[in-house]
Amino acid sequence: MATSESPAPAPLRDAATVVLVRDTASGIEVFLQRRVKQMAFAGGMTVFPGGGVDPRDAEVDLGWTGPDAQWWADAFGTDADTAKALVCAAVRETFEECGVLLATGSDGSSPEPQTFAAQRTQLVDKSLSLADFFGAQQLTLRADLLRPFAHWITPVNEKRRYDTRFFVAALPDGQDPDDQTSEAEVARWIGAQDALDAWAAGLHFLLPPTWAQLTAIAEYDSVADLLAATHEIEPIQPSITPGAGLSGLSFAGSDRYFATLGEQKAPDITL
């Protein structure tokens, strides 16, 4: 017998996204990647580094400097175990996707990420966990280099859904992100406002969470001001109008998002 009931939403998976920022003479720049079209989620979109939590991200203790798991749990409205996994995922994904390592060595010095190329490959193929990597290399996770920034939940109509916490982090001295990931075809620094202007001109495509974070960052004059600010974090899950596609999304700021939505071109241009 036919039924009019809607299918159950896809299950949510915890995820972490990291907005890397740096100061320039013209304002704050962010590190963005354009994902390859073949990606199952957000293919062809311009995004920040990030990805899903690996169940092993917080399975054992590891060296940790900065706010503890309960502090992050309070910031993101979750439990301490989930918060620890999210912070670990943020550090792991940043290293996997762009080679920036938010850690220090046993002597307190900043490591040279390129010396861990083999471990980076093993993290990507999941033959190595973050805890085992840090333990073997006597590295300490630098939670103090991260700040909580936002919390977005994928709409119920998507086949893949993520409960994503956004972090912001200043680029550590002596490090620079790279494009050595199979998940992105373009990766580069760009001014936050420049990225928004390119979006409005139809030169690349920003999903609402990316657009929202760029909009917030563009309000600040320096990385120091951005990191010092207290960001109100409430979970945002866009509502949908069935059958309306992207234009059927509704969220705080969606009117402004659609007002600046330019005529989108195929994502084969430079960011």
Confidence at residue 38, expressed as pLDDT on a 0 to 100 scale: 46
**Span 7-30, pLDDT tens digits:** 788 899 999 999 999 999 999 999
Q: Please say whether the beta carbons of 31 and 214 come within 8 A.
A: no
Q: How far apart are CA 55 and CA 215, in angstroms?
A: 32
Task: Please report, for the chain, how many H helices and E strands are present, in that order.
Answer: 8, 10
- Our measurement of the distance from residue 60's CA atom to the centroid of its chain's CA atoms, rounded to an integer in Å, reads 23
- What share of the chain has pLDDT > 70, as a percent? 89
Q: Which tokens is 30 given?
A: 């962010």
Sequence spans of domains, the chain:
12-259
- The H or E element that residue 64 is part of is strand 63-65
pLDDT confidence band for 60 (50 / 70 / 90): confident
Average confidence score pLDDT of the chain: 87
pTM: 0.89
E strand intervals along 107-262: 140-142, 146-153, 161-170, 184-191
Buried-exposed string 156-171: b where 16+ CB fall within 10 A, e elsewhere? bbeeebbbbbbbbbbb
**Span 159-207, pLDDT tens digits:** 889 999 999 999 999 999 988 876 667 789 999 999 999 888 888 889 8
pLDDT confidence band for 2 (50 / 70 / 90): very low
- Our measurement of the distance from residue 8's CA atom to the centroid of its chain's CA atoms, rounded to an integer in Å, reads 27
Q: Give me the CATH topology for the region 12-259.
A: Nucleoside Triphosphate Pyrophosphohydrolase (3.90.79)
The phi, psi pair for 28, rounded to 5°, reads: -75, 135
